[in-house]
Each structure stands twice: as structure tokens, then as C-alpha cells.
Amino acid sequence: MRREASILHLDLDAFFAAVEQRDKPSLRGRPVVVGGVGGRGVVATASYEARAYGARSAMSTAEARRRCPAGTAFLGGRFPAYRRTSDVVMELLRELSPLVEPASLDEAYVDLAAGPAGSDLSVAGVTALGARLKERIAAATGGVSGSVGIGSSKLMAKIASDLDKPDGLVVVPPGSELDVLHPLPVTRLGGVGPATAERLHQVGVRTVGDLAARSLTDLVTLAGRAHGSGLYALARAEDDRPVVAEREAKSVSQEETFERDLTDLTVLGREIDAMAGRVAGRLRGSQYSGRTVTLKLRRYDFTTLTRSQTLPQPTDDARVIASIARRLLTEAGTQGGLRLLGVGVSGLSLYAQGDLFAADDEPVAEDPATPDEAEEPAALPPTEVRWWPGQDVRHDELGSGWVWGRGLGRVTVRFEGPRTAPGPVRTLRADDPALHPADPPDWRSATIDPVEATGG
């Protein structure tokens, strides 16, 4: 822990959904859910309007649909658009310091002490710096907001960035760390997931202050030597981790410990699907794909097994990861019940665009357009052409837009862009030769497609 608040943590607010709302003016102020749009999809990000109805990341898309009102936009991911926006933000951070540690597309740490000589690292100085940074990010990204936390360690900076979301700025003055930390729920600490939280709750530990009152021996007994020692230190705001500009990831994994031993392959399969979605999202966020899929099992008697399969080509596709993990689970069996299940990907290489958020193969009608907006042609037979909600497209006559819905041989497109008014909706044949996939629109361009501007 440092003597000054010189570590900054930036967390862009509901990032994927915010980019979608920026590029699609008809969605501004409306609930938006980004993630898998098929029957087994997982939510990657929900806009704050959607969160008001209970939608959240890592929730199944089916559950999010049940919670959100009619008119909620469920969109597949557009990683080129997110990457382009993220790159703009990361460049702004590198103007503050050469030591910038991206944690994902929408999150990064900055070591302000490594910035220009003579930088003002007083509480007032870093507060002013944080306010200017937020203004610059909003201007450079077309309105995407970020929450900034600044503290004497990575732990305090990250916690601070979450205290006043969205669009917040919190500086934790040196010496006040425990005053900020101890009233918070213990789940605010990294490494305290649902299973650990449940064990802590059972012994009366609900806040970080409760955790700090426990001895090291108690926590090691409860959570194991490594995890217990880590919790003991974090509860005392002891965190000396440096900001590292370049990190080489070796693997990405996700695991869950169950409240009771599970044997049902259907239930376990759903757990695998959810974990595979999170792993794939983290791979994409860190620009990696991997060749080896690993399944981790812990049985009722605490014996732990791992099973792996190596692919000929790297993947970041949640469906591929889940399919392999499900098969590995079937081969390993669930005899006696499983206490823990984990899915991981290793053998990482540089990011390769995949299809994590693609729709399922079945032609399910998914068109939120109202009858007075869309011109419905007669039903057409299914076609081999694939479109997915949220996809950027361009029509030779009607201009640029995005897929509003698809199914049954049709595709509905809203023709608008980040610098236009909300645009008109048209329903076309899915095999219309004039309709093409397109690159994401550039929100920085002052040029507006004349066809978009007039509504086609």
C-alpha cells in the first residue's frame, strides 16, 4: 500500500450495451441486453435500463427475457466495435502514464506515480485528473461513460470505482482505507464468490470488518492456506501488487462450488454452458483464443480430476468450449455427486474473431418491430443466409443500419447510425442480394450517409 493515492482504476459503465446505444440511436434510454441470443445464451452485459428489471451479466438469456419488458433489445456482440472504442480509451490512459494494465476491454489500472515528473498526486490533484479523464473519455467515445476509482493500491482503486457507478469518481485518501473497506459486504473482495461467501456467512462474517476480526488461523481453516491468507491480507487493505503494463496469460478458467453434490447431467450441462460463456467472454476481452479445453471435477469425497482435449485450431467460441466440456463430463461420469465443476481454456494465442454471440441454428422469429414500423412481406422458406440481431449491415439502396430481427427467411433492419436520428425499419428477404454485412460505423465521422439521413 502506497503513501499516496496514485493507482487509478477505470471501469467503463455497461460497456458493450453503451456502445450499442451509442451506435443505435433508437435504443438510447431503452433496456439493452448483449450476449448469446440463442436458447442457451448467456448475458455478457445489460444496460442500466435492463438492470432495473433484474437482468445482469452471467445470467441466462432466457431468464433475462423473462425479466425484461417487451421492447427490450437482445443483441449479439460486435467485438470489432468494442475493440475500436476500447483502443481509444486505452490510448487516453497511456497519456497519463506508461504503466497501464488492461484487465479487459472495459477495465484497466493506471500507475499515476509513473506519469510525468512533477505530477500532483495530492487528493485534490488526482481528483481533478480523474474528472478531466472522464470528460475526455466521454468526448472521445461518443458518450460512453466510465467510473474512476483512485487509491493507494489496486484493491482500493477497484473498490472505489464501484462505489458510485455509473459515471462515478471516488478517491480514497491515504489512511482512510479501512474506513471505506470495513463496512462493505465481504463479497466486494476479489476471490469471495458465492461458495466462499456462503461459508463466511455461516460463521457470521458478512462485512469486510467482520472478516478483519477473524484470526489468520480461522480463515486458513475455513478457506485453505492460500485463499485464507489472501483474505486476511485484503481485509486489512494490504495489497502491494504493482501495475504491470504487459501480462502474458497462460489460461482462462471459471469454476463453481455447489451447495449440494450434483449428479444430474442436465443441471451440470447448464452450469457448463454458463461457465463456457464467461470463459469465452474473458478470452475475447483479453484478445486471446486457446487450443486446449479442460474440465475440472471435484467429487463428493474431495478427489479432484481434470480432463482435457486439444483442438487443431484455437477457439474463443462458447459453444465449442461447452460442447467439449460436456463430452468430457459425460466420459468422466458423475458417480457419487460433484461438489465442484470448472471449465478452462489454455494454450492461448492472439485473439481471433470468432462467433461467441452468434444465434442458434434454428430460424426462430425474433423481430421486436411493431406492425406500423415494419413492412411485412409474405412468409418465405428458410434460407442459408445467416443474420443475427445487432449485426451491422448495408443495403445498396437503403443505406447502412443494423439487424433488428431475423427468422423464417426474413431479416428486419433498422436504418440508422450513431450520428443520425432514430431510423426507419424495413423487413427484407434474408437472401436479398442488395443486403450485405458491414463494418461497425465510425462514431467519430462527421459524414452521414445521405440515405440514412433521409430514412431511405
Q: What confidence score (pLDDT) does residue 385 get?
A: 52
- Collapsed DSSP state (helix, strand, coil) of residue 385: coil
pLDDT attached to residue 349 = 73
C-alpha angle 157-161-165 in degrees, rounded to nearest 5:
170
Query: Domain check: are 419 and 311 in the same one?
Result: no
Provide the terminal-to-terminal Cα distance of the chain, rounded to the nearest Å: 59
Choosing from 293, 323, 350, the residue where a domain stops is 350
pLDDT digits (tens, 9 = 90+) for 376-404: 333 434 434 579 899 999 999 999 999 99
Per-residue pLDDT of 58-112, as tens digits, reads 788 899 999 999 999 999 888 889 989 999 999 999 999 999 999 888 999 999 9
Three-class secondary structure of residue 48 per DSSP? helix
Percent of the chain residues past pLDDT 70, beyond the cut: 87
Type and span of the H or E element at 429: strand 425-429
Burial of 324 (0-12, 13-18, 19+ CB in 10 A): buried
Please check whether residue 440 is in contact with residue 429, taking contact to mean a CB–CB distance below 8 angstroms: no
Q: What is the pLDDT of residues 150-198, one digit of tens each?
A: 999 999 999 999 999 999 999 999 999 999 999 999 999 977 877 788 8
Q: What does each C-alpha distance from 41 to 33, 357, 374, 392 come to in angstroms? A: 11, 8, 27, 20
Cell of 72: 427490450
The single residue listed with the C-alpha cell 471516488 is: 170
Per the annotation, the verdict on 452 as an active-site residue is: no
On the question of a cis peptide bond just before residue 166, with omega within 30 degrees of 0, the verdict is yes
Report the alpha-carbon angle 96-92-136, nearest 5. Answer: 105
Structural domains of the chain, count: 4
Show the CA angle centred on residue 286, arms to residues 280 and 292, nearest 5°: 50
- In a shared domain, residues 155 and 212: no
Tens digits of residue pLDDT in 419-456: 999 999 999 999 999 999 999 999 987 444 534 443 44
Q: Is residue 104 part of a domain?
A: yes
Residue 133 domain boundaries: 1-171
Q: Element (H or E) spanning 399, and its range? A: strand 399-407
Residue 406 lies in a domain: yes
Query: Is the same domain home to 93 and 165?
Result: yes
pLDDT tens figures, 225-258: 888 899 999 999 999 999 998 655 678 999 888 8
pLDDT single digits (tens) 288-297 = 888 899 999 9
Strands 7-12 and 169-171: unpaired
CA gap 15, 363 in Å, rounded: 29
Q: Does the pLDDT at position 285 exceed 50? A: yes
Beta strands in 235-316 (DSSP E): 251-262, 288-299, 304-315
Round to whole Å and give the CA distance between 221 and 234: 17
In a domain, residue 244? The reply is no
278 belongs to a structural domain: yes
Using DSSP's 3-state secondary structure scheme, residue 346 falls into: strand
Query: Which range (8-17, 143-152, 201-210, 240-249) has the least confidence?
Result: 240-249
The reply to whether 312 and 262 lie within a common domain is yes
- Statement to judge: residues 12 and 113 lie in one domain: yes
CATH number for the domain harbouring residue 36: 3.30.70.270
Q: Is residue 355 part of a domain?
A: no
Q: How far apart are the C-alpha atoms of 92 and 120, rounded to whole Å?
A: 18
pLDDT at 367: 38
Tell me what pLDDT residue 350 has: 59
Say which amino acid occupies 423: G
Q: Which three cell numbers stand for residue 120?
A: 500532483
Phi, psi of 21 (to 5 degrees): -70, -35
pLDDT of the residue at 352: 41
Q: Is the pLDDT of residue 23 over 80?
A: yes
| Among 49, 107, 256, 452, the one annotated catalytic | 107
Same domain for 159 and 188, yes or no, is: no
Segment 26-41, tens digit of pLDDT? 999 999 999 877 766 7
In this structure, the answer to whether residues 341 and 377 fall within a common structural domain is no
- Burial tier of 38 (Cβ tally within 10 Å: 0-12, 13-18, 19+): buried
The last residue of one of the domains, among 291, 325, 350, is 350
**On the CB side of 85, how many CA atoms lie within 13 Å of its CA?**
32
**pLDDT above 60 (res 269):** yes
- Give the residue with greater pLDDT, 260 vs 88: 88
CATH number where 214 lies? 1.10.150.20
> Would you say 146 and 167 are in contact if contact means Cβ atoms under 8 Å apart?
yes
The three-class DSSP label of residue 100 is strand
In the predicted structure, residue 117 carries a pLDDT above the cut 50: yes
Three-state DSSP state, 202: helix
- Is residue 2 domain-shared with residue 57, that is, in the same domain? yes
Identify whether residues 154 and 202 lie together within a single domain: no
Flag whether 283 is in a domain.
yes
Indicate the residue among 350, 374, 391 that finishes a domain.
350
CATH number of the domain that 301 lies in? 3.30.1490.100
In a domain, 241, yes or no: no
- Say if residue 329 is in the same domain as residue 255: yes
- Other Cβ atoms within 10 Å of 197 Cβ, number: 16
Task: Give the closest residue to 355 by CA, choosing from 272, 251, 249, 277.
Answer: 277
The three grid cell numbers given for residue 34, joined into one nine-digit string: 448483449
188 and 103 fall within a common domain: no
- The amino acid that residue 254 corresponds to is Q
**pTM above the 0.95 mark?**
no
Do 344 and 392 share a domain, yes or no? no
Q: Tell me whether residue 89 is in a domain.
A: yes
